[in-house]
A and B are shown apart, each in its own frame.
Chain A
């Protein structure tokens, strides 16, 4: 029999190899699925994983799609490290878009260059406020943060619907749901003409590195890491559990809120009933695929964005259904979680000598 032996420290090589292996195995599994569906696997895999990266507009789209995934993923990874399971980032994203976007709704004639920065700040605060609810209920009443944060997603969605077809509805919009278009000063400047990559994309790319610095260099980062790996030891060392819960949820909520308001001010340009194609949920995969490490999350966000865009390409040029993309994401996660074993345990092969002992 094979035997498992815990490693004293996590294996660095295994930690970085496992996501790569997971991607490779997913590609192989994907090939088998395509074959079963009667498609040529190599063409289909090329469309899915390579083609989006071969054109400049493809790259720009990958960056745009990866942006919110990375922002939310980085925020969630703080909490997941500390064992705080905020899975309601989708709701915090919407709350951020509501609070930040609300500014542009009220100051729709503004020409002030301060509007956009103010919206970003408000968006973060909105996300934080939404995440504060599970934090409060968890620390004060011991209510499970997974369920509370998730239930608040549905509440946020309905709140947004109510706002955009009620009090915030565009008076010139023929009664259709949706706010006015934001004024120009509330729209993220584009980086290149004709491409959708925008200033917010740059913010997104910078955030993982800031987070990395915080995690590696600050006392706060240290407590997060310790709390996640050894909660009992952390308590003895005087780390307060409630504070970690609050910090985790506020960071996760703040970044999700920021992602929400960035999307509202860039790719959408208004508030409407649907502003997220499930970013808050997909970011959970991204966080795990990135090993809960900010730079890993950056790479993982790009990888997942590629599968989305490849998935659309596959619909157009190969007639593959959209569901394949979701299936891939689940399979990636499964492989990754299975490989996790090797980062924490060594496999001891039975040798004759040990057997004889």
Chain B
């Protein structure tokens, strides 16, 4: 909350100083967004759209936002991004990994337009990248799950075997093991970000196999609802999904893109935008946690403490000793995994009950 206040004061000063600028040029800054899904998915795209609305709310007098939804990664992405650039958008956020190459290609053709690519790893003079350390939240979830689970088996619905997802599984596992070294995580890959019936199927199968907590790295609310039907606890994803499962959601990882989006927009307005790579976590508030619900207060207390120590930087979820599935030490005791290892993570930590597809 304090952060938000601080941000608001910063914004207000900026707005005041901007007053003159806007008077001079009646044209508003046009900011464009490319979405992979529908803004109403209540997952990934929804979270980005909330960020867009924050720009509207805070900078609405100076900025106009536009989005193109459901742009498939592949041949069409280039055109949709270019179309935004052609129609006078000076700052464009492309919000899915598969837009990486198209974003770079279009950026070359429109050197005076600024681009922001989510979750990618290639930058250019006018292309920044940004991503969030969601794994920090997953570690907290792992701890909660281990405390609450009676069967000792967690069901994990995974989308695609990319580092982001693998990192999440590992962080979850490490969190769970910190409470109970014998915790088991069962993983099902559904090969989709958004396929509600399939996500529900996966949740049911995992529960059939004895999982008594469900967590997901897919975007719909279906898994949460499937868990609710059987009276099993689960975690929400990307946004607070509590209204879909009042008695089920323990907490959810919140993708909080708004502050970053507002900041970058202000940078462009002020002419201070420069290319960079941002990978923020709980500290700057890009990753948040929904209220800890449906759990005893001592567990909620523990979760809050863990989250707080991650937020302040006192604790890193990937602190050694960490062994991989083969039992080889990958992070020595007392060390923490560096960002290079985290960014390209393609191994499971010891204890994950799955073979990483690759």
The one of B68, B73, B121, B161 in contact with A316, judged by C-beta atoms closer than 8 angstroms, is B68
The answer to whether the Cβ of B334 comes within 8 Å of any Cβ in the partner chain is no
The one of A194, A263, A273 in contact with B73, judged by C-beta atoms closer than 8 angstroms, is A273
Q: Which of B12-38 contact A (CB under 8 A)?
A: 32
Given A158-B191, A267-B78, A273-B73; A315-B160 close (CB under 8 Å): no
* B150 partner residues in chain A, CB cutoff 8 A: none
The answer to whether the Cβ of A86 comes within 8 Å of any Cβ in the partner chain is no
A322 with B75: CB separation less than 8 A? no
A321 with B78: CB separation less than 8 A? no
Cα A162 to Cα B68 with chains together (Å): 29
Cα A270 to Cα B104 with chains together (Å): 14
Given A181-B101, A312-B68; A175-B87 close (CB under 8 Å): no
* Segment from B248-256, B262-270, B286-294, B340-348 that makes contact with A: B340-348
The answer to whether the Cβ of B76 comes within 8 Å of any Cβ in the partner chain is yes
The one of B68, B75, B109 in contact with A267, judged by C-beta atoms closer than 8 angstroms, is B75
The answer to whether the Cβ of A291 comes within 8 Å of any Cβ in the partner chain is no
Cα A169 to Cα B161 with chains together (Å): 12
B358 with A276: CB separation less than 8 A? no
Question: How many chain B residues touch the partner (CB < 8 A)?
Answer: 36
The answer to whether the Cβ of A166 comes within 8 Å of any Cβ in the partner chain is yes
Q: How many A-B residue pairs have CB under 8 A?
A: 96
Cα A158 to Cα B345 with chains together (Å): 22
The answer to whether the Cβ of B273 comes within 8 Å of any Cβ in the partner chain is no
The one of B67, B72, B97, B101 in contact with A277, judged by C-beta atoms closer than 8 angstroms, is B72
Q: Which of A61-81 contact B (CB under 8 A)?
A: 61, 64-65, 68
Cα A312 to Cα B343 with chains together (Å): 33
The one of B68, B83, B160 in contact with A161, judged by C-beta atoms closer than 8 angstroms, is B160
B344 with A175: CB separation less than 8 A? yes
The answer to whether the Cβ of A309 comes within 8 Å of any Cβ in the partner chain is yes
Query: Closest approach, in angstroms, between the C-beta of A87 and any C-beta of chain B?
Result: 20
The answer to whether the Cβ of B79 comes within 8 Å of any Cβ in the partner chain is yes
The answer to whether the Cβ of A317 comes within 8 Å of any Cβ in the partner chain is yes
Instruction: Produce 1/0 per residue, A316-331, CB < 8 A to B.
Output: 1100011000000000
Nearest B residue to A276 via CB reads B74
Chain B CB count within 10 A is highest, among A57, A175, A178, for: A175
Nearest A residue to B358 via CB reads A166
Contacts beyond the supplied A177-B162, A309-B79, A316-B32: 10 A-B pairs with Cβ under 8 Å: A161-B160, A166-B357, A174-B344, A175-B162, A176-B97, A263-B74, A276-B72, A309-B83, A315-B66, A316-B84
Closest 10 pairs (CB-CB, A-B): A267-B75, A277-B72, A175-B346, A174-B344, A175-B163, A274-B73, A274-B74, A175-B344, A322-B70, A277-B76
Give me the interface of A with B, judged by CB distance under 8 Å.
Answer: 57, 61, 64-65, 68, 158, 161-162, 165-166, 169, 174-178, 181, 194, 196, 263, 267-270, 272-278, 308-309, 312-313, 315-317, 321-322
